[in-house]
Amino acid sequence: MNWMERVKRNVFPVSNEKYNIRKALDEWEYEGSMYDVEIAEEICELCDQPNIRYQFEIVNVFNNNTLLIGSECITRFKISVIDQSGKKMSFEEAKKKVKKDKSRLVTEAKEKSVLNTLVALAAKDNEFNIENFIKYYKERKAFTPNQLALLIWRLERARIDFKKSHFKLTIKRNREKEQLLRLEDWKLNRIWDCLSNSQKQFIIENKPRSPF
Ligand SMILES: [Zn+2]
């Protein structure tokens, strides 16, 4: 069965229109409801694509049926996207909103994984002062250079499974920039994969005798 046949099989039973697929798809709207199911094992209820983690809910305006679909399908099938005032967005605006909503879910998921990692570390490492780190992270969604170097060291020592790229560095304040440039090379190596490209560039341009 090709993908359009799958879409028809999924959409006609829950739409008022039963013959014209474009008309049937036009009965549906995305109003901003989206969910992170945390494990990528859902199926797109529109096209049957597997391994969906971020589900976007579309609603049928005539019968209130709902379908949970992948964000790409909203754009691919030109599903109407409704803004906060209830107005239908243009295709270009809609595309942007869907992309932004998806990236918000992804960011929130990464933040949650960081907090879970801190909790896992606290369970293994009695000397780790988790409250300070959690408080700081919730406020700034990132860590200072010294915090990060200490954190990554403790995580590796405790053999906690974690993703370095989820742990972000902040150097918005001058003292944080200075702190970063003062880090020993071995500490810098340890946090290198946490850095953004512009932060790496900042080090390359400003750190005397950079090892990179
Ligand atoms: Zn799909």
Q: What is the pLDDT of residues 138-155, one digit of tens each?
A: 999 999 999 999 999 999
The pLDDT value recorded for residue 209 is 66
Find the 47 Cα to ligand 1 centroid distance in Å.
4
Q: How far is CA 142 from CA 76, 104, 112, in A?
A: 35, 16, 12
Find the 51 Cα to ligand 1 centroid distance in Å.
10
Structure tokens at 139: 């406020």
Find the 83 Cα to ligand 1 centroid distance in Å.
22
In three-state secondary structure terms, 48 is coil
- pLDDT above 90: residue 128: no
The pLDDT value recorded for residue 122 is 92
Which are the contacts of 198, defined by CB distance < 8 A and separation ≥ 6?
A: none
The pLDDT value recorded for residue 211 is 52
* Tens of pLDDT, residues 173-192: 999 999 999 999 999 999 99
The pLDDT value recorded for residue 70 is 97
The pLDDT value recorded for residue 129 is 85
* Tens of pLDDT, residues 45-72: 999 999 999 999 999 999 999 999 999 9
Which are the contacts of 81, defined by CB distance < 8 A and separation ≥ 6?
A: 29, 30, 74, 88, 89, 93, 94, 97, 98
Find the 5 Cα to ligand 1 centroid distance in Å.
13
- pLDDT above 70: residue 210: no
Find the 162 Cα to ligand 1 centroid distance in Å.
30
The pLDDT value recorded for residue 110 is 94
* Tens of pLDDT, residues 77-127: 999 999 989 999 999 999 999 999 999 999 999 999 999 999 999 999 888
Structure tokens at 124: 């293994």
Q: Which ranges constitute the DSSP H helices of 44-193?
A: 71-76, 91-124, 130-140, 145-157, 174-182, 185-191
The pTM of this model reads 0.81
The strand order across the sheet containing 80-81 reads 66-69, 54-60, 28-36, 80-81
